[in-house]
Amino acid sequence: MPKAIGLITANYTTASKDDVFSGRPVASMPYLGRYRLVDFALSNMVNAGIRSVGMIMPTNYRSLVDHVGSGKDWDLDRKNGGLFIMPGTAFGTSRTGARFLIRDLVQNKEFFIKNKEKYVVLSTANFVCNVDVKALIAKHEESGASISVLTKKAKCDGNIDVVTFDVEDGRVKGMKQGAKFGETVFLDYAVVERELLLELLDAFAAIDHLDLFEALNSELGRFRVMAIDFEGYMKPIFDKDSYFTANMDLLDPDVLTELADSRPVKTKAHDNPPAKYEPGAKVSNALVASGSRIYGAVQSSVLGRSVIVEEGASVRHSILMQGVVVKAGAQIENAIIDKNNVIPAGTELRGTDGDILYVKKN
């Protein structure tokens, strides 16, 4: 019997003004050619035996609903439990740091009341990480904490979207926006007893414009909020550069193995044929999704489903999303090409390492 239910707040966007996030929520951003970012949060919960998962939706939810559907691909299309699509508020979703907006949780409080499991696992979809949620719950029980949060030491200076905790002997003493090297980053995973969460929502109802942890910041003396260190690969995605880097990181086989082999990451099934490499194709250090056909050269890149790279065309250090066609002789480097674009023959599209070029979809 599962000990927990899950809640994914998929309506958090970012403070970034990058066009790459303008047409879809971060949760439904394509990743590694065949996944969406929400797949990691969903898979982490399902792998832990959680069979009731709520997902709070943004206003531009079409692509997200199209991807998750009834939850069948995650074994969440069931009579008891399942995937619950929930409304989210527009206010606060683009506000820096508002991951678990109290207003959203209060609005969907019925989900917590009807489900009788002991714990609630909270998550966003902005972090790429393969989390053993079952072990996280076990550590939470062992510590006797009121709330447990998943954390990791920052390996570089981060942007303002990332939340960091002041941790002393494992206990959270405070929080702030932004991260610097060596600080304790919040990975947007938390475990809380369901009854306590309901009490907190009643207590904080008058300040429903705040994030749950923002409201808790002044109450940390009353509640024992404990940090649990995460040792695996983790990448926060809050802007174009972090999105690009997160894809490029997985071209390293060791990183890919660490992320994908420990526990399965499930996604929506597509009935595509395998990628086909035609005579004369030159492909190195690339991830190429099913349905693609390569005639030209691809190096250090991630290609989505049904991408065509024609003879004489070259793709280097780039991300090509689903349905992109690169015509003969075209050259692409340091770029993100969104879905369903046709790059004309002989065209050169080049960004730089410090300024990745983005071409919007269609």
Task: Give pLDDT tens digits for 269-307.
Answer: 988 999 999 999 999 999 999 999 999 999 999 999 999
Instruction: Say which residues have a Cβ less than 8 Å from residue 30's Cβ, sequence separation at least 6.
Output: 36, 304, 321, 322, 339
How confident is the model over 201-238, as pLDDT tens digits?
999 999 988 999 999 998 998 999 999 999 999 999 98
Place of tokens 């899950």: 6
Q: pLDDT exceeding 90 applies to what percent of the chain?
A: 78
Please report which confidence band the pLDDT of residue 34 belongs to, taking 50, 70 and 90 as the band edges.
very high
Mean pLDDT within 49-74: 94
pTM of the complete model? 0.93
Looking at domain 276-359, its CATH class is mainly beta
- At 219, which amino acid appears? E
Domain positions in the chain: 4-260, 276-359
> Token pair for residue 153?
């030491």
Write the CATH number of the domain with boundaries 4-260.
3.90.550.10
Mean pLDDT within 144-173: 89
| Residues 97 and 163: beta-carbon distance below 8 Å | yes
- Cα 229–Cα 235–Cα 241 angle in degrees, nearest 5: 150
For position 1, what pLDDT does the model report? 47
- Cα 153–Cα 335–Cα 274 angle in degrees, nearest 5: 90
d(CA 274, CA 1): 38
153 has a pLDDT exceeding 60: yes
For position 362, what pLDDT does the model report? 85
The number of angstroms, rounded, from the C-alpha of 360 to the middle of its chain's C-alpha atoms is 20
Per DSSP, the chain holds a count of helices (H) and strands (E) of: 9, 28
